[in-house]
Structure 1
């Protein structure tokens, strides 16, 4: 839980958005004069409850329909229970809206209205918590196999509650005898379940996508705050009615996470994106049209909101059909363009592989021949010839590395490069690359420092690719660091992320070039940091393939600071004690590593 609190401290925007409702609620409870009884003060308070409930119900339904797509096409226990949780929230808020006193049903109070609100968050919170639990493989397989039975059971329970609400409301009156013990117990349990689910979602990365994890954590915390207002607030007063905006805010954040997942998907799902977004707008317009129609026709006899509901449903249905036809047509056009782009990319990839193969084969022969000459197997060489041969071999190796980077970038773009992941100690892997870079650093009289935290976790990565990323970043730093300059390498851990930074005292990267520098064949203006334009592209794509990231900023030495982030799971973190190395600084503080000095870790 301490890691979760530290996460909020590092993201003040999220912390403020969660703290403001709590501050307002506390103020209302501490100053009774401000906590007015809005329910009895104006009939419009009930009207607002009616429309808030209906709108919240519809947003929750949209979130339920698209939750599985946002988490991935494969059905899992997490997606099943998350979807059921949103559906339960949707149905119970719909019941609370329809049974709002003196709107559609006349009467000062209605037990169905009260219990719909009281049960909405505890029941949905129970399913949300189930989605965050660590299920065994056999249990998960059983739930996925018989998921239709879970759906049927949940549906029957909601139907049974609906029958009680609209046919036998007197039965729900008997539940009021359990006040206030049962509602408070349910509310407190719900608060703890939602907070626990938020912690699991954010810290343990249970939902797979880091962006969705972060936003769902906010969703669950907002719902926990909404439940807190129902438990500690006084029914009908402003402190109690705060659950309206909190629930709406939570559902909007959930929907934004779903829509964002559609935007960032490799195959952009335009129809789902616009259908979800358009559905919300249509729902809002339909609800508004009912109220406008009621206001306009209320002067006549026999007109009430109930009689206008069929008109609203008809209008909404027609709007959905029009929206679907338009989006379906646009989606077809986009898919045709995407197919054409994929064909073009495939042809370009084949051409690149053909060129790479045609270049790599003769280059390998050339390097082999130079290797034979360097060993003097074909005759003695003069010193001038040896120096020339060394330069030729170095240039040939650079071309070979560029060809390999080009081929791997094309494979990564096409998704054809399969990652061979294994548990890896990044400190040892990076240490090996630094050892290989010592000769180059000593030649240029550059000072190299390497440090890392103790007890670093292992991560599951493709060791070969990550090793090449380390080599590229180190080579890049040493290449652009002037003679006598400094390069600093560091590994730290924050929450479930590993941060590997490589900083240099070179010319740095201008602010306006820091995004473009990762593009293929991009060159920094001015020529201070020029290269083939493929190494950083390769590093960035490898990082993203591992669900990480690579960024560049200014180092404290005035040069560039490249930061590679790699995520790890709780299981990988638990292995840290067995493989951790002591914090090491090679050759002392900014001391030079030379081939004649073997540094000893401090």
Structure 2
């Protein structure tokens, strides 16, 4: 008996691939449109909110105990405005890399994220510790709010899986061209999924076999946004290590080039 090969219809295959590309492009355009529309709708009410907080801030008497809370609320409102503007810009330019960005202090942005997440970590009696070189790593050319957002997302992931009464470490390491921020937790490690895939939107993994802390199964969109922001500014994010003793996720961004006046 002779085997018979089934002919491949190249024209149909090409047509299917072409149709798939067209559908994919239209979906991407539609998603970008939704993001742009939502950003436009949020921009005005957020600006109004910031203006009202500013009025309230100016009306408070000197030494009022509410002053620090109102100042924090204004800072949060400004961060939200920046996030909306960034989403809108990303939708308009397709997430292209950005190079013309103000130079900022990375450690200060990391510290802001740590202070925000400390309010959540305290419920589980988890401490967040910073391990940064002295003097600091120098400036980076990434918006401070973007650094803060990335570290908040990394810390949020760490807090979810770190057992009570333990610690999370935020380490800062410097090379000639980059600065890395590594968040180490004491969770059960990543199981049942390729480590690179945890940065995909809504990635899910199989639960670990051992009983104990919460299974690291759902990763939401927080880590995917970290990757999008990192890539946008010429950086990256990856799983540095993951064992039964914990996981370390590392965000790397380029250092700002020093001008002659700074040397």
TM-score bracket for this pair, using the shorter chain length: 0.5 to 0.7
Q: Distance in 2 between matches of 1:539 and 1:415?
A: 13
For the Cα contact (< 8 Å) 1:419–1:462, is it kept in 2?
no
Choose from 349, 360, 381 the match for 2:32. 349
Change (3 A) 1:411 1:481: farther
Q: Which protein has the bigger strand share? A: 2
Q: Which protein has the bigger helix share? A: 1
SS in 2 for 1:571: coil
Choose from 513, 528, 542 the match for 2:215. 528
Q: Give matches, 1:9-408, under 5 Å.
A: 338=21, 341-351=24-34, 353-354=36-37, 356=38
Q: Distance in 2 between matches of 1:531 and 1:481?
A: 15
Establish whether residue 562 from structure 1 lines up as the match of residue 249 from structure 2: yes
Q: Looking at both structures, which has the greater relative contact order when contacts are Cα pairs under 8 Å and sequence separation is at least 6?
A: 2
For the Cα contact (< 8 Å) 2:109–2:145, is it kept in 1?
no
Measured against aligned partners, the alpha-carbon deviations of 1:155-200 in whole angstroms (never above 9, x if no partner) come to xxxxxxxxxxxxxxxxxxxxxxxxxxxxxxxxxxxxxxxxxxxxxx
Q: Distance in 2 between matches of 1:571 and 1:358?
A: 36
Change (3 A) 1:570 1:418: closer
1:425 aligns with 105
SS in 1 for 2:147: helix
Change (3 A) 1:562 1:338: same
1:510 aligns with 191
Query: Shift of residue 479 of structure 1?
Result: 2.2
Establish whether residue 485 from structure 1 lines up as the match of residue 166 from structure 2: yes
Establish whether residue 444 from structure 1 lines up as the match of residue 124 from structure 2: yes
Measured against aligned partners, the alpha-carbon deviations of 1:331-366 in whole angstroms (never above 9, x if no partner) come to xx9888756633331123324555x579979x99xx
Change (3 A) 1:454 1:500: same
Larger radius of gyration: 1
Change (3 A) 1:523 1:409: farther
For the Cα contact (< 8 Å) 2:180–2:250, is it kept in 1?
yes
For the Cα contact (< 8 Å) 1:457–1:574, is it kept in 2?
no
Q: Where do 5+ consecutive residues of structure 2 fail to align?
A: 1-15, 47-79, 208-213
Equivalent residues, number: 211
Q: Distance in 1 between matches of 2:176 and 2:167?
A: 29
Q: Distance in 2 between matches of 1:408 and 1:506?
A: 35
Q: Distance in 1 between matches of 2:40 and 2:258?
A: 45
Q: Distance in 1 between matches of 2:174 and 2:155?
A: 20
Change (3 A) 1:408 1:468: farther
Query: Shift of residue 533 of structure 1?
Result: 1.6
Establish whether residue 414 from structure 1 lines up as the match of residue 122 from structure 2: no
Q: Distance in 1 between matches of 2:259 and 2:130?
A: 23
Query: Shift of residue 415 of structure 1?
Result: 2.4
Q: Where do 5+ consecutive residues of structure 1 fail to align?
A: 1-332, 365-399, 578-602
For the Cα contact (< 8 Å) 2:179–2:252, is it kept in 1?
yes
Query: Shift of residue 410 of structure 1?
Result: 7.2
Change (3 A) 1:550 1:410: same
Query: Shift of residue 551 of structure 1?
Result: 0.4
TM-score by length of 2: 0.63
Q: Distance in 2 between matches of 1:466 and 1:510?
A: 27
1:541 aligns with 228
For the Cα contact (< 8 Å) 2:189–2:243, is it kept in 1?
no
Query: Shift of residue 458 of structure 1?
Result: 1.0
Question: RMSD over aligned Cα, in angstroms?
Answer: 4.4
TM-score by length of 1: 0.30
Change (3 A) 1:553 1:508: farther
SS in 2 for 1:515: helix
Q: Distance in 2 between matches of 1:569 and 1:445?
A: 37
SS in 2 for 1:529: coil
Measured against aligned partners, the alpha-carbon deviations of 1:89-119 in whole angstroms (never above 9, x if no partner) come to xxxxxxxxxxxxxxxxxxxxxxxxxxxxxxx
For the Cα contact (< 8 Å) 1:504–1:559, is it kept in 2?
yes
Q: Distance in 2 between matches of 1:571 and 1:351?
A: 39
Q: Distance in 2 between matches of 1:508 and 1:408?
A: 35
Q: Distance in 1 between matches of 2:254 and 2:120?
A: 31
SS in 2 for 1:466: helix
2:114 aligns with 434
